[in-house]
Chain A
Amino acid sequence: MTSMSNFPDPNFLGPSFPKQKLPDTYGAKPLFLIIGVTCLASFVLDALALGLPPSPYSIEWRTTFLEKIGDRSILLLLGAALTMYGIMGNRKLVVKLAAACVIAGIFFHASCLVIIKDSLSLKEQALSNISNQATQLQTQLQESRTSTENAPTLTAQEIAQASQQIDNQAKSLQQRAQVDATKLSIVNAGNFVITGLGLIFLGRFGFTRR
């Protein structure tokens, strides 16, 4: 009751306490701690939901998992930063969180290797798929020339034109696949690099705070 009676302290920000520092305006620290822990928990939940059951040898699982993690990685960064603000007085905890941030940042950077390797092999797959289909079409075309059924309807020139068209289409498809894969891998790896740098610098900041 006593604490309630003087709760809206009339001199809270007033001049009657000139020497007292205001350590925590309006309880911002617990607020940030709540938001930060919520962000971290939601990130962890997302990662678990996306990653379980793990099948690290399957390239599809790896690509989708890392892509989704990269999309949500900003949540991890924000959560870590807000949590760090929330626990700022507690030196031991801050150092632990900072070390975790640095290690997570390095881990993010290292996972770029996996992202690039996977995107390269996926690109190879797509390119070989396209060329396989093109050769299949070409053989079908050649067969139709030798078969007697279509002989009166198809002239040699038409067949040559069709074959040229198949070649051109396959080539443009391959080109598009290549450019798309390059773009996607740059964006994905870029996400990881940027967030990793953010985490590393957050960790450094945490180490320097007392």
Chain B
Amino acid sequence: MREEEVSVKRFRQYCQLLFGLTTSTTKTVHGWLVLGGLLIGLLYFPYWFGYLFQRALQGKTAWFLIACMLVLAFSEIIGKRRQLKKLAASAEDRFLGHSLIVSGIILFPFCRFAIWPQSLVWLMILAGIICSSWGVGFFYQFKFPAFLLGLTVYPRLGIVSRAAWEFFIPPNFLENTMAGISAWALRLVGWSAVADGQFISFPEGAVEVGWGCNGLDMAITMMLAGLLMGIFFQQSRTQIVRLEVFAFSLALIANIPRLMVVTIAYVYWGKDWFRFWHGFWGGQIFVGILFTLYYYAVMALISRQNQKSTI
């Protein structure tokens, strides 16, 4: 009985708090506009979350990246909340933010056909809410959290990173390099493999190294993990950069044995083995080994750094 009473009381308190918040926000134009913007965010949220959830069930790591970015962003904002309280929006920032929110609300109904336009409109509204509540100064004082929050708006990080990669790097460069190095490594171990462009060919058959197999996704995930570890262990900036470069190269190097195993499985061991290594379980084993290696390497690096700094 007592527990129930307590929970009912708490529920009532929450209701009152929510009611109070709504009434206090709807007193001003600014409050109404922010509420409208947040409502749009609420409409977009199921699409965003549904996509991430669906991909998470397929063993993709985008949700992990996004969760890390959100945690990092909000931890920094909450850590500096005194600074945040001092920020106030000037009249022109209000005008800018309100125009952004209003145009986002007008545009949103026409953007329901795919995820990306909704995410762009939500980004606009988010920027508007921030501008009209804390002013443009927010983006100066919270550069890093603002950048991270901007990245989390679109759940298909793979496409974003791919577009950025293809903008700078010649087509198929990484795939060709991976195929070449894997074929060379296979020859070292004694298989008669030849690389031809994207293909690793054997006398019995050939395997194409596609976009998903070039190791870039894993490299980016590892880089973020490096960033997270660097922040968690309170490393300096150069050390964090070093950790990230190390993570990137380790992921790409570790992709080569994976490619070798998958190739041999496809050509010689049969379809079931290929599916095992190329699919969920193989991916989990690969990720497990990679992260274990990375963890010990990073701990070694960090402890060496700490020794240096104490001496």
Contacts and interface: CB of A to CB of B under 8 A. Distances in A.
A204 B103 CA distance: 18
A186 interface: yes
A106 B103 contact: yes
Interface of B: 90-93, 95-96, 99-100, 103, 107, 111, 116-117, 120-121, 124, 136, 163, 166-167, 171-172
A200 B116 CA distance: 23
Interface stretch (A64-72, A74-82, A107-115, A125-133): A107-115
Nearest to A168: B197
Given A183-B167, A186-B167, A99 B120 contact: no
Contacts of A200: 96
Contacts of B171: 175-176, 179
Given A203-B96, A204-B92, A110 B117 contact: no
A184 B99 CA distance: 29
A4 B231 CA distance: 71
Interface of A: 98-99, 102-103, 106-107, 109-110, 112-113, 116-117, 175-176, 179, 182-183, 186, 200, 203-204, 207-208
Contact of A117 (B91, B107, B117): B117
A102 B95 contact: yes
Nearest to A183: B167
A113 B172 CA distance: 29
5 contacts: A107-B103, A113-B107, A175-B171, A200-B96, A204-B93
B308 to A, nearest CB: 42
B92 A182 contact: no
A206 to B, nearest CB: 8
A98 B100 CA distance: 15
A179 B111 contact: no
A102 B100 CA distance: 10
Nearest to B91: A207
Nearest to B211: A175
Looking at chain A's contact residues, the main secondary structure is helix
A116 B136 contact: no
A182 B167 contact: yes
Nearest to A114: B117
Given A182-B166, A182-B167, A204 B107 contact: no
Contact of A109 (B93, B116, B124): B124
Given A207-B91, A207-B92, 19 more contacts: A99-B95, A102-B95, A102-B96, A106-B103, A112-B120, A113-B107, A113-B111, A113-B120, A175-B171, A175-B172, A176-B171, A182-B166, A183-B166, A183-B167, A203-B96, A204-B96, A204-B136, A207-B95, A208-B90
A207 B136 CA distance: 14
A200 B139 CA distance: 14
A92 B162 CA distance: 48
Contacts of B93: 204
Nearest to A175: B171
B95 A106 contact: no
Contacts of A203: 92, 96
A28 to B, nearest CB: 25
Contacts of A110: 103, 107, 124
A129 B120 CA distance: 29
Nearest to B123: A109
B107 A106 contact: no
B167 A106 contact: no
B99 A182 contact: no
Contacts of B163: 182, 186
B91 to A, nearest CB: 7
- Which of B96, B103, B117, B163 gathers most chain A CB within 10 Å? B96
Contacts of B167: 182-183, 186
A183 B170 CA distance: 12
A112 B90 CA distance: 27
Nearest to A186: B167
